[in-house]
Structure 1
Amino acid sequence: MADRYVLTASDVTIEYPAHSVSSAFTAVKGFTLTIEPGEIVGLVGSSGSGKSTLAHVASGQAAVRGSKDNSPRIIGGSLDVLGFEMRGLKRSKLNKLTLGVGYVAQDAGSNLTSNMTVAELVAEPLFLRDKRYNRHEAGLKAATLVDALLLPVGSMLKQPHELSSGQRQRVAIARGLILDPVLLIADEPTAGVDVSVRGAVVDVIAGLQRSRGASALIVSHDLAALRRSVDRIAVIHEGVVVGLGGIDEVLSDPRHPYVAGLARETYSDEADDDFDDDEDDEGEGEGDGDEDGSESDAGAAPDRDENR
Structure 2
Amino acid sequence: MRHGAASVPPIQTSDLTIEYPPHGASPAFVAVHGFTLRIEPGEVVGLLGESGSGKSTVARVLSGDAFVSDVTGIRPQITGGDATVLGFGLRRISKRKLARLTFGVGLLAQDAADTLPSTMTVAEIVAEPVLERDRRYNRRALGAQVATMIDAVRLPLTVLGQYPYELSSGQRQRVALARALVFGPALLIADEPTAGVDVLVRDAVIDLISELQQERSFSALVISHDLAVLQRVANRIGVMHQGVLVGLGTIDDVFRDPWHPYVRGLAAALQHPASAATDTAAATASDDETDAAAAS
Q: Normalized against structure 2, the TM-score is what?
A: 0.83
Give the share of equivalent positions with the same residue, in percent. Answer: 57
- Say if 1:114 and 1:161, in contact at 8 Å, map to a contact too: yes
Residue 247 of structure 1 corresponds to which residue in structure 2?
251
Residue 18 of structure 1 corresponds to which residue in structure 2?
22
How many residue pairs match? The answer is 268
User: 2:137 and 2:22 mapped to 1: Cα distance?
Assistant: 44
User: 1:3 and 1:168 mapped to 2: Cα distance?
Assistant: 32
- Between 176-185 and 144-153, report the one with greater CA deviation: 144-153
- Say if 1:169 and 1:192, in contact at 8 Å, map to a contact too: no
> Are 1:127 and 2:131 matched, yes or no?
yes
Per-residue deviation, 1:92: 2.5
Per-residue deviation, 1:200: 2.9
Residue 206 of structure 1 corresponds to which residue in structure 2?
210
Amino acid at match of 1:117: T
Per-residue deviation, 1:180: 0.8
The correspondence for 2:97, drawn from 79, 93, 105, is 93
Residue 17 of structure 2: SS of its match in structure 1? Answer: strand
Residue 227 of structure 1: SS of its match in structure 2? Answer: helix
- Say if 1:103 and 1:176, in contact at 8 Å, map to a contact too: yes
- Say if 2:17 and 2:79, in contact at 8 Å, map to a contact too: yes
CA deviation profile, 1:110-150 (whole Å, cap 9, x unmatched): 22121222122222323333445454543443334334434
User: 1:216 and 1:11 mapped to 2: Cα distance?
Assistant: 21
* 1:182-261 paired onto structure 2 within 5 Å: 182-261=186-265
Residue 47 of structure 2: SS of its match in structure 1? Answer: strand
Residue 70 of structure 1 corresponds to which residue in structure 2?
74
User: 1:63 and 1:254 mapped to 2: Cα distance?
Assistant: 35
The correspondence for 1:155, drawn from 156, 159, 164, is 159
Per-residue deviation, 1:241: 0.7
Amino acid at match of 2:125: L
CA deviation profile, 1:41-93 (whole Å, cap 9, x unmatched): 11110000000001101111111127952111011100011111111212231
Residue 145 of structure 2 corresponds to which residue in structure 1?
141
**Cα RMSD (Å):** 2.3
Structure 1: gaps spanning 5 or more residues: 270-308
CA deviation profile, 1:4-24 (whole Å, cap 9, x unmatched): 411111000111111211111
Q: Find runs of 4+ consecutive structure 1 residues off by over 6 angstroms.
A: none
> Are 1:179 and 2:183 matched, yes or no?
yes
- Say if 2:170 and 2:201, in contact at 8 Å, map to a contact too: no
User: 2:71 and 2:117 mapped to 1: Cα distance?
Assistant: 25
CA deviation profile, 1:150-174 (whole Å, cap 9, x unmatched): 4344333320111223322221111
Cα–Cα, structure 1 residues 257 and 91, in superposed 2: closer, same or farther, change >3 Å? same
User: 2:261 and 2:146 mapped to 1: Cα distance?
Assistant: 44
Residue 254 of structure 1: SS of its match in structure 2? Answer: coil
Cα–Cα, structure 1 residues 178 and 257, in superposed 2: closer, same or farther, change >3 Å? same
- Say if 2:117 and 2:125, in contact at 8 Å, map to a contact too: yes
The correspondence for 1:118, drawn from 110, 115, 122, is 122
Residue 69 of structure 1: SS of its match in structure 2? Answer: coil
- Say if 1:41 and 1:231, in contact at 8 Å, map to a contact too: yes
User: 2:196 and 2:157 mapped to 1: Cα distance?
Assistant: 20
- Between 176-185 and 122-131, report the one with greater CA deviation: 122-131
> Are 1:106 and 2:119 matched, yes or no?
no
- Say if 1:166 and 1:191, in contact at 8 Å, map to a contact too: no
Residue 278 of structure 2 corresponds to which residue in structure 1?
none
Residue 81 of structure 1 corresponds to which residue in structure 2?
85
Residue 35 of structure 1 corresponds to which residue in structure 2?
39
User: 1:3 and 1:135 mapped to 2: Cα distance?
Assistant: 29
Q: Normalized against structure 1, the TM-score is what?
A: 0.80
Per-residue deviation, 1:256: 2.0
Residue 96 of structure 2: SS of its match in structure 1? Answer: helix
